[in-house]
Amino acid sequence: MALTIEDLLAKQEIADVIHRYARGIDRMDFDLVRSCYHPDAYDDHGSMKGDVDLFIGGAEQFLPGFVATMHFMGNMLIEVDGDVARAETYAVAYHREQFEDRSGRDDIWGIRYVDRFEKRQGDWLIAYRVVAQEWRRVDPIPVGRVRGGGPGMWGTRDGNDAIDWVLEAQGPATG
């Protein structure tokens, strides 16, 4: 089956949405997360099932409990059929917690995002999403090893991350 230029462009636009979603979740940029969904989208994250407002509201409550998250998007199969597409994205989702004694744990999930994308008014966005869980691993972190130390800067989720200022080449915001 030969792909058209339109199919290739659709696949790239859909892949960009999937990657934008990961950035939005990991940086706790909920406007960016919302921009990945149609307003009437449905999301099934297991414990959170419902419309996009319910999912984002839950994420706004849930994610600050972690000192860091990172979603690594892997294999991605996108099948376009007109103005509808099915996408299956394998992902590893890391969630790091820190406890009062400065110990912590890494909660790591192997998941698949199974999505129905629809092109409406020229935009490919998620219309229906199911997160299929494949495996989970939980690792303890010794006291004092949760954050800090080591080379380079640490990512932040407060609007002062490298991604927030790198295009301006001004360095981190102060104050």
Given a cut of 80, whether residue 147 has pLDDT beyond it is no
Look up residue 136 and give its two tokens.
Answer: 């989970």
Please report, for the chain, the start and end positions of each structural domain, with discontinuous segments joined by +: 5-164
- On the question of pLDDT at 124 being above 80, the answer is yes
In terms of C-beta distances under 8 Å and separation of at least 24 residues, what long-range contacts does 4-11 make, across chains too? 7/80, 10/78, 10/80, 10/85, 10/119, 10/124, 11/78, 11/80, 11/85
Which listed CATH number (3.30.70.20, 3.40.950.10, 3.30.565.10, 3.10.450.50) goes with 5-164? 3.10.450.50
> What pLDDT digit, counting tens, does each position of 19-70 carry?
999 999 999 999 999 999 999 999 999 989 999 999 999 999 999 999 999 9
Q: Please give the Cα distance from 23 to 82 (Å, whole number).
A: 28
* pLDDT at residue 173, as a whole number: 57
- Of 152 and 97, which is predicted with more confidence? 97
Q: How many CB atoms lie within 10 A of CB 64?
A: 10
CB 93 within 8 A of CB 109: yes
Mean pLDDT for the chain? 91
> Starting at the edge strand that comes first in sequence, how are the strands of the sheet with 37-44 ordered?
49-51, 37-44, 123-141, 104-120, 84-98, 68-81
Q: Which residue has the higher pLDDT, 140 or 102?
A: 140
Q: Which of 121, 29, 126, 18 is nearest to 74 (CA)?
A: 18
